[in-house]
Amino acid sequence: MTGGVTGGVEGQGGDLFVAADVHYLASGGARAAAVVSADAAFSRLIADRVELVPEVEPYQPGRFYLRELPPLHAALDGLTGPDGKMALLVVDGYADLDPDGRPGLGAHAHAEFGVPVIGVAKTAFRTATHAIPVLRGTSARPLYVTAAGMSRPGAAELVRQMAGRHRMPDALRRVDTLARHGRTA
C-alpha cells in the first residue's frame, strides 16, 4: 500500500506491516518471530525474523506483558523499510482485556512501539466482551479482534481482509510456526 488508508491504518511508501509472536521454550527462554509485509493485508510477505531470547521473566498473572515485551523487542527492534518504519503490529492475543480498556499485551505494545496494534485471539476471554468476532474462510469459530491506536471496527475489517483462505490469516499462521519451530519450519 502506498499512501492512503486501509482499515484506519495509514501507510506511506516503505512502511512495514508486521505480525509477531512469541513461543516460550522448555529451557526457560523464548523464541520471538516477526513476518513483514509492505501492505496491511499481508498479501505478500517480504521478510521474516526469528530471535532467541535465552532468559525471560516468569509468568505473572495480570502482568504477561512483562514477559512478552522483551522477546518482541528482540524480533522488532531495527525493523525498517527502505523509506519508512513499522506502521502496524499484529499480535496473538488481546489489545485490551475489557470494555473499560484494561490494557492487554496489545495496549502495552502500542505504548512501547508507538504504532497501532491489532490483537487477534483464537479464544474468547471472559471479560473481553467488547472484542469483535471475525469469521474467516469457512470456519464457524471466530477470531476475537481488539485494537490499540486504531478503531476496533477498522482492525476487524483488516483481519477480515488479511491474506489466506483459512480461519487464521496466512501471516499469523506463518509467524506462529516460526515462533514455535524457528527457521526449520
**Rounded-to-integer distance, Cα 157 and Cα 151, Å:** 10
Whole-model pTM? Answer: 0.89
In this prediction, residue 165 carries a pLDDT of: 95
Question: Which stretches of the chain score pLDDT less than 50?
Answer: 1-10
In this prediction, residue 66 carries a pLDDT of: 85
* Kind and range of the H or E run holding 18: strand 16-24
pLDDT in tens, 42-59: 999 999 999 999 999 888
In this prediction, residue 114 carries a pLDDT of: 95
In this prediction, residue 113 carries a pLDDT of: 95
DSSP 36-99: EESSTT--SEEEEEEEEES--PPP-TT-HHHHHHHHHHHHHTT-B-SS-BEEEEEEES-SBSST
In this prediction, residue 184 carries a pLDDT of: 62
